[in-house]
Structure formats: C-alpha cells, structure tokens
Chains A and B, each alone.
Chain A
C-alpha cells in the first residue's frame, strides 16, 4: 500500500462487523475502491454477540412498526442472498398463563399491518410442532422467524467485497485521522502484529464501528452520542428447540430462545454500562439467574440442559440529535453525514439498527457515499447472492440432499468411504454453503476430525486458513466453529494450533495463541461453572496444564 498522501481509496470503512462488511461489499459492488479496516477480527463485536435470530420483525410489530417492516423485508432478502447462513426454522410467540391473552390479537393485527405473516395456532399444535415448548402455554402464534449465523454472514460479505476488489486489513486499529481544512483525508492505523503505524488516504471514511464508533467520532472531532447497552446471553449444549420461541407480550428480558447450528441461545438482558466495560464484559451471576429463570418458562427442559457458556454484546443505542441526554433513544438506523451535520466533509457514521438490517444500513450508507462521489450506480446487494449461497457454484458431486429428512439407505455403489465423505461434506456444506466445493475430503487424512463436537475436518481447517483471513485460533473458531462445541476446545484447540503452526501462521507464538484461545473459552465458561461444565473445565486444565505443561495464566 502506497502512503504518499494521494487518495489510494475512494472509501475506507472502519469496522468489520456485519454493517462494515456489508458496506464494504456494497461499495465494492458499485465499483468503488474500498479498504475495510478492523481492529480485531470480523464479527468480533456486537455482530457476533447476539442471538443469531433472523427476526421476522414480529417482536417489534406492536412497539416499532418501522423496524418491523424493515426486518421482514430484510428477512426475506437474507433467505435469498445468504441461504447458507440462514436456517428457516419459523418461530412461535407463546402466551403463558401469566401473560395477557388479549395481547395476542393486538400482536397479530400489528404483524399483519407490517406485512408479517402471523398465524394463530392451537396450543396443542404448537406443542406438536415444537415439543420443547412450555406445555402450559395458552396461546401460540407462528411467524417466519429463523436463525442466522452472524459469523458466516459477516465473513461472506467480506469475501464478496474482496472478490469485487476491496482490500481488507484485520488486526489494524484506528488511532487517528488525517483532517485538512475541514475535510477528512485519511486514517492512521496501528498494526497489532507488527506494532507499526501507517497512514492511509482516501476520499471518504465511513465509521461503522458499532458502539466503538462513539470514540471514533470523538477522535474525528465530532460527537455521536451513543449509550452502550449490554445484553447477556447463555449458550446451551445442544438444540433443545428447533423453532424460535418468543413470548407474546411487550418485549422484555430473556424472552427469546433461538436454535442455531448445534446449540441454542437464550437472551437477553439489558443494562446500561460505562464505555470502559465495552471491551471486557463479564456476565454476572444475577444475569445468569435471570436468563435461566426466564428461559425455563419458554422451554422447561432448559433447567436440565448443560450450559456451555455465557457472553454479552453491546447494542449501540444512539441519542437523537435533538435530545443528547439519551432519554429518547432510537433503535432504528442512524446515518449521519458529518459534512452537513458538523461541517466535517468526507466523514460518515452509520450506526444504530440491528444485525437483521445490516444490508439496508449498508445500502443507505453506500447511497450517501455514491452521492458524495457523484457516482450513479444502483444497489444490487439485495439481488446478488453472497458467496456460499450461489447455487451454480455448489459442489458437483452429491450423494445426498442436505435438507432431506434422513441419510440415504444402503446402496451397493454406496461404499463406506463414500458415506464418510458424505458426512464430512454435509458438515462443511452446512457451514460454508457452495464455498465448500473448495474443501476436498476425499481421503482419510483430510476427513480426520479436528473438532469432534462440531465435526470440523482437517480439510475444512486447511481451507479456512487458506481462504478465510485467519491469523489465530479465535479467528479460526469464528470461521469454522472449532472449539464452540460441548468441550469448548478441550480436544480441538491443540490440534487446530498444530495445523495453524504448520501453515506458518503462528509457529513463533503458537503457545501464546493456544493459551489466549483457552483463556477466552474459560472466560465464557466462568459464569456457569457448575455441574458438567465444571468437570469439563477441570478435565481441560488437566490436559493443557498437566499433560502439555501449558503455563497457568492468571485468571484474575
């Protein structure tokens, strides 16, 4: 990258969450020269720290019609363009004896008005459709909710941005801006790997850094008044439910249970926190208790289900410009043109919104970018599928239908090796969609499992290291689910570290990398250390501290 003071890029997008990645993709697809900058890893902020709920919008139908309408539109778009990130599970809004059944009629009416198909069903039918649901329910409404994997979604947007010529820097933290005569000229970056700083110039800079955008705006000398709202969630060890379960009442704490891949997630809490806590959030005992108590009301079997970990994300709540105290908060999309608002040309902030509307946020933001650059090109992100969801690129050799009810029965030509290959391919295709064509599992060694809980093969890890922007084990986890299963890295962390070291990515600091990865797993398990999870942690520490002699890190 040249650093001679000339604009090398049309636009620099700061923030590798869904919004930033989506904006980078949109800009690149409209022919702009784009640089995406992320201080850690894609989806390492709020994008990767939520339910993974593909909202139908029903949750907002009564209280926020505009958000509801945005959600259902984006919901239908994501089913098309991000099929490999989405599970079309449908959702239930249940009424429990303690809830007011009269709310149901109001709810359904609001859904219909917002264009959300909402169908009242018999509680008995709801119990049959979703056997885990609280059997005491007195009402149920079926809506087109679903699950979305935010890690895959963000990554697919990055991959597509790159395919359209965008450049991407991870592990690069913004340390300052180059502002000349009231015009944004570029950014100053610190490379966390080399510890070197660099200055990169562009015509425009987009602040898409979520809650961290508050301080980034401050750095640019403008003020965007945000309030960090922490939301804690619990991950359970397996899928208890196959449909999303919500409470049919005014949105409240811990009233959504979402199945996703091999687990399910209950959340969230909601509490204001100071900015200092955004980078190191701990889930408290009170939050865990609240999540469990409310979760059991949705699906009683959660009471006896192993909890894998707890985590928390930060919603960027934005105070409206007319009321900087924060009492009047918008949960909608906030697009700020700092040229007209603050007299700082070349700087744009896109924030607020939600994972569900990331694409729409990117579209609005890119529309503004194009206006500023006098480019007249229409947005096509709603029509062109993301990499992974492109049918024409799907693996040619198919033994199976991934969504079929069961595996095919024995056939003569269907050898054991073919069957094992099928299972390996199924898991890879579930995660990477049509991109899994690049994962060759045709010999025993490549089919060997790195992560046994999540069925991640050697070949899939190799593919991720090669093609998916990976520097360390945490990145690898976000791309492949290595270490996200029942054992939380106990068996796979060392294997994956070995593969990374072999690929030359972290041979020098493989051990630090492994320690860091395990510490990060431990942090999430700490709030739920009882029962089987506690035994698991103990066993893991025997392996890594006892057998491998990994240094005991300071947990405090």
Chain B
C-alpha cells in the first residue's frame, strides 16, 4: 500500500466528492466517498472493527478524486481500506470475473460453443441463480481467433518497414473478444507511419483483480507488465493502449494501490487517442480521409478518462475527421464499472446510475456512441438501442 500516509488529512470536509459520487446518489446504503474515505480512515486507525463492508459498493470510478479541490486520493483510500480490512474473501464468481486472461484463453479456443451457451436461457438462469451474475447481462462474445494470433500471422512481418515503432498494450478485451479494434489500431498507426509491436509479455492489467480483492495476483501481473513496458521503452518504443481503464491502471493504480513503482516509465504509457491526436496536432503526421464519410456520434466520457483528464484528446480527434459530427454527452458514470455491474446484487444500482445517460442517448439517437472504455460499451449497448464504437475504429473507418 503506497498511499501517502496522511493524504486523507488534507480533506476539508467540503463534501463535494459525495455530491459527485454516482453510487451515493442512488444507493442510500453507501455512505459516500467522504465518509467511506477520509472520515472512515480515522475510525479504522482507531480500531479496524470500524471497517464498513458497504465500501464494496464503491465503483472505483475516481470521480470523487476529480471533484476534490484538495487532491485527496479518496478512491485510493477506499480501495486500500477494502484491501486491508475486508474479511470477505473473493468467491468463485469473483475469481472468474476477475481472471479475464484465464477465462479468455479458455473461451476463445471454444468460442462458438461458449458464445452460444452463454446466450442460452438455462445457462443464464444458472449464472444468475448459482453464480449471482445478473441474467440481464450479456457476456461480450469471445472471438474465435485471438488478436495476438492474428497479429503474428498477418501483420507482424510488415511492421519492420516503419522507421518509428510503438508497443501496443492490447488488453484482454481486444485479445479475446474484439480483435477488430486491435486491427483498426494497427491500420491507423501504420497510416501515421508507425510500426506496431507487441510487448514481450503482456498480462491482464489487473483492474478486475484489484476490484475483486485479488491483490497478490494483481501485483504479480503488474510486475510482469511493467518489466515488459520498461524493456520496450528502453528500446525506444512507447507503450500505447486503446482501453482507458488499462492505461489508467498501469499508470496510477500500480503505484498507488499495488505498490509497483512505475515512475521511470509512467510518462511513456499512453492512450491511443491521445497519442494520435498529439501527433496530428504537432503536424508531424497527416492522415488521408475518405471524402464520403458522414457520421453523427455522441462521445461518452468514461470515468477513468475523466480521472486522467484526457477526454478532450478523444473528442478533438473525432472532430478532426471530416464528415463526423460530434456531440459530447454530459460526463457521468454509465454504471457498469467493469465487473461491478455483472454482479447480481449490483445490477439495480448499476442501471440506476446510468439511467439518465441512457435517456439522453435515446433522445439524441446518434449513429454511434463513442467511448474509450470497453465496459462502458457493453453497458450502453445493453441499455440503449445505439451501437458503441471506439474512437480508433471510427478513425480507421474514415481513412482512405
């Protein structure tokens, strides 16, 4: 645990964090970030018995930290308290939801069977009744071929011809569920004159492990990832991810929650849209766009994008594409927060948090909702009639 020891004391009790907390607004059982974080910390220092199990309702969206005028790491304090004090041990369900790497490897080899059965009513009933994974949820489909397999077979050989190189942290979702986004990324980077490489070893960033309390495993994976990132950076390749959550986790959660030092490479871990937008903005690269592209999109700011303060890069990038009209949705949590919304006990909270966002999307009826986060995509696609795309995919489709 690496929370600067007395950071919670910087809290001035203004309570603005609780005003911005998506959970506190819909779930009275949750005491809100001020009480769960800085206030609760004083009590827990007195006696660990004052730990409140309702801290599990925290989404770890970090909107409290964005709101805080005094830089209190409220979200970190809450997560750290859960790690340190909670007596509730992760069950089979939590292990399965958290181990995206393992589950993905198994599932992709039997993708058609897994996809078909996960959609079946009896399977859903079992997941709901026995596993407490809510029946309303649709699991993202598993791809029959992993992104890594595709890349090695069809793309890797061509990358050497580019003078400049980046490493791609694809993450679990692109690898197991949605290789198309990875393919889009490679296409965009190549069009910008960059070759794409994989990291020597890539593990799941560990965000789901952290939120499900599997800290030791998360730390082991973080160490593998940072070692790979470090090698890549030393060889002159910055590391780029498409998922805002993976990037945020590697940059901030590693040092703050897992105690994994990344200070030497943190600035070299970047988000795809930010990297591309900064490159285009600097005039060092140009893209050729189709002239017949017409699209109306609504941009949704994922919580971790809000925390990093990087939504502007994605929005500017989209505005850069000729023919794309961008509406920016009010920045708010969609409610899913990774594996949180999959859990039966959280489903009503999850949907209540997102309801005003869904209503807004239905009113706007854009061609696509665009967001940098994959779990927001699942939530919005499940809860509205509008399909969701990543900005990089929109960009790739607009290329000549």
Contact = CB atoms under 8 A, between A and B. Distances in A.
Q: Which of B38, B39, B49 has the most CB of A within 10 A?
A: B49
A453 B46 CA distance: 13
Nearest to B89: A409
Given A407-B51, A409-B53, A410-B88, A262 B42 contact: yes
Given A304-B6, A404-B49, A426-B50, 5 more contacts: A403-B49, A486-B38, A490-B13, A539-B13, A539-B14
B41 interface: yes
Contact of B41 (A238, A401, A485): A238
Contacts of B49: 400-407, 426
Q: Is the interface of A mostly helix, strand, loop or mixed?
A: loop
A239 interface: yes
Interface residues of B, number: 33
A406 B43 contact: no
B34 A452 contact: yes
Interface string A415-458: 01001100100110000000000000000100001001101000
Interface in B289-312: none
A238 B48 contact: no
A527 interface: no
A404 B28 CA distance: 27
Contacts, number: 100
A406 B54 CA distance: 14
A408 B86 CA distance: 9
Interface in B46-78: 46-54, 70
B87 interface: yes
A-B interface, 7 closest residue pairs, ranked by CB to CB distance from nearest: A487-B13, A306-B9, A409-B87, A416-B29, A239-B45, A238-B42, A237-B9
Interface string B84-103: 01011000000000000000
A306 B43 contact: no
Interface of A: 237-239, 261-262, 301, 304-306, 400-410, 416, 419-420, 423, 426-427, 444, 449, 452-453, 455, 485-487, 490-491, 532, 535-536, 539
B42 A485 contact: yes
B14 A408 contact: no
B10 interface: yes
Nearest to B38: A486
A433 B52 CA distance: 21
B29 A420 contact: yes
Q: Is the interface of B mostly helix, strand, loop or mixed?
A: helix
Interface of B: 5-6, 8-15, 28-29, 34-35, 38-39, 41-43, 45-54, 70, 85, 87-88
B43 A262 contact: yes
14 contacts: A238-B9, A262-B42, A262-B46, A402-B47, A402-B49, A407-B85, A409-B87, A419-B52, A444-B28, A449-B35, A452-B34, A486-B42, A491-B13, A539-B12
Given A406-B87, A452-B35, A452-B39, A238 B45 contact: yes
B88 A409 contact: yes
A462 B85 CA distance: 32
Nearest to B88: A409
A539 B50 CA distance: 28
A536 B13 contact: yes
Given A262-B43, A406-B85, A452-B35, A423 B6 contact: no
Contacts of A539: 12-14
A453 B42 contact: yes
Q: Which of B8, B11, B28, B43 has the most CB of A within 10 A?
A: B43
A401 B49 CA distance: 8
A408 B45 CA distance: 17
A249 to B, nearest CB: 28
Contacts of B50: 407, 423, 426-427
Contacts of B45: 238-239, 262
B267 to A, nearest CB: 27
Contacts of B29: 416, 420
A126 B281 CA distance: 58
A152 to B, nearest CB: 15
Q: Which of A305, A408, A416 has the most CB of B within 10 A?
A: A416
A487 B88 CA distance: 32
